[in-house]
Structure 1
Amino acid sequence: MQSPLFTYGEQQTQERYAVQNPQLLRVTLKGNDDVLARKGAMVAYQGLVDFDGEYQSASSRRSQERTGEGLDLMRCSGQGTVYLANLAQHIHLVDVDSGGLTVDSSYVLALDPDLRTEVLAVDSEYGISGSGRYQLNISGPGKVALMTSGQPLMLRVTPDSYVNVDSDAIVAWSTGLRVQMQAPTTSTSVRTRRGNTGEGWELSFLGQGFVLVQPSEVMPPQNAQIGEGVRGQFGADGRNRGNSWS
């Protein structure tokens, strides 16, 4: 058999994590180096690999129920190669240090088991779409694979140059940054988007670090149920209206 498809063969690399292509992550397991991945993210594997649900402590479950923020993971173990993907989103590897990375858990594809995670509150009295009121803090050392809808933009924040980001487009930022949620508006109600511009809530970042932004203001339909009307179009919680994946 002959086909141009054979140009999409496996990456030959000794790295534990490798981006097979912009939308597919390859993870090599050697028997004593498990990886945690989003449940259902495995698209293929080779070798002797086991997949088990990752244990969540009672406090973690309560925190996730209360805040809506947390990771629903499976543990991949054994010897072989695992390929992970989610809705053809673009994948990016990040080395996380003790300084930490703050991220919306919806954008986490995989991470090292030794990384520490905790839920943090964003500076706002409102629960806002996109970034929400709570975020996940991940601290290292270790690697995490993030997902974005399209190729992202990485912005540097310095004491002399702060950054404002649409709360629906933010993916992650350096944990050490100071964050304020605001809604500059020409309306009498701060809950109303500014005039007829379609713009509204923003996150303002100050300090020293980085901010990762995606070229999309909608969340991926993580909970989409195909072929079931509105729930299938917009996801189980209805947050994905206008999403190009539906």
Structure 2
Amino acid sequence: MQSPLFSFADNQVQERYSMQNPQLLRVTLEGHDDVLARKGAMVAYQGLIEFDGEIQTHGERHARAHTGEGLDLMRCHGQGTVYFANLAQYIHVVDVDQDGLTVDSSYVLALDSSLNHQVIAVDSQYGISGSGKYQLSITGRGKVALMTSGQPLMMQVTPDRYVNADADAIVAWSSGLRVQMQAQTHSSGVWRRRGNTGEGWELSFMGQGYALVQPSELLPPQNAVIGQGLRAQYGMGQQGAHGQNQGNAWN
């Protein structure tokens, strides 16, 4: 049997996390170092690997029910190699150190079981439900694999150079940054998407660190039922935080 497909054969490397290609993650397990991965993300494996549903604590279930943020994970353990992917999105491995990482849970593919994660709130200048208001804080030491739609942009934030990013395009940022959610309009026009520009909410980052942005805007928020009309587009009325999309804001 001959085919150009054999150029995509398994990469035999020793690293725990490695990239089989930009959209396929390869993780090596040695029996003592479990990895937590998004449920359904395994596409292949070799060796003696077991997959168990990760049990959520009461606090994790409560936070996810009220904010929409949280991880639905499976625990992978044993000896062998596991391959993870999700909708052919680009994958990026990040080392989490003492500074921590804040990320939208929708973009987490896998992480070391030694890392801790909890839901945190992002300040809103107006207190209005919107994408990016609640995120996931990952702390400890270990690796996490993030996903982006397309090749991302990593922006450095310094005390004299702050960064603004669309709330629907931001993927992750250094936890040490100061963050504020705002609309780039006068307060009287906060319900509009900046007039006729089509832009909406943004996050402003200040301090020292990095912000990761993908070349895609997810609007509306994932799993939201938008319905019809201008009020529905901005999360108000029956489609707002007190309507069908109660998971998009903490009440």
TM beyond 0.5: yes
The 5 Å alignment of 1:1-246 reads 1-124=1-124, 125-129=127-131, 131=132, 133-185=133-185, 188-218=188-218, 237-238=224-225
Query: Which letter maps to 1:139?
Result: T
Say what the alpha-carbon RMSD is for the aligned residues.
1.7
Residues 157, 208 of structure 1: 8 Å contact kept: yes
- Farther-moved stretch of structure 1 (183-192 vs 144-153): 183-192
CA distance in 2, matches of 1:107, 1:13: 25
Equivalent position SS for 2:189: coil
Query: Which letter maps to 1:93?
Result: V
Equivalent position SS for 2:180: strand
The count of corresponding residues between Structure 1 and Structure 2 is 224
Note the C-alpha offset of 1:18.
0.5
CA distance in 1, matches of 2:214, 2:28: 28
Note the C-alpha offset of 1:188.
3.6
Percentage of identical aligned residues: 71
Which of 1 and 2 has higher RCO (CA within 8 Å, sep 6+)? 2
Query: Which letter maps to 1:69?
Result: E
Residues 149, 220 of structure 1: 8 Å contact kept: no
TM-score (norm 2): 0.86
Residues 156, 209 of structure 1: 8 Å contact kept: yes
- Assess, with a 3 A threshold, how the Cα gap between structure 1 residues 63 and 211 changes in structure 2: closer, same or farther: same
Note the C-alpha offset of 1:40.
0.3
Residues 187, 194 of structure 1: 8 Å contact kept: no
TM-score (norm 1): 0.87
- Render the CA deviation track for 1:8-65: whole Å, top value 9, x for unaligned: 0111210011011000000111111110000000000111111000111111111111
CA distance in 1, matches of 2:186, 2:66: 33
Note the C-alpha offset of 1:118.
1.2
The unaligned stretches of length 5 or more in structure 2 are: 227-251
CA distance in 1, matches of 2:220, 2:223: 12
Equivalent position SS for 1:160: coil
CA distance in 2, matches of 1:33, 1:2: 37
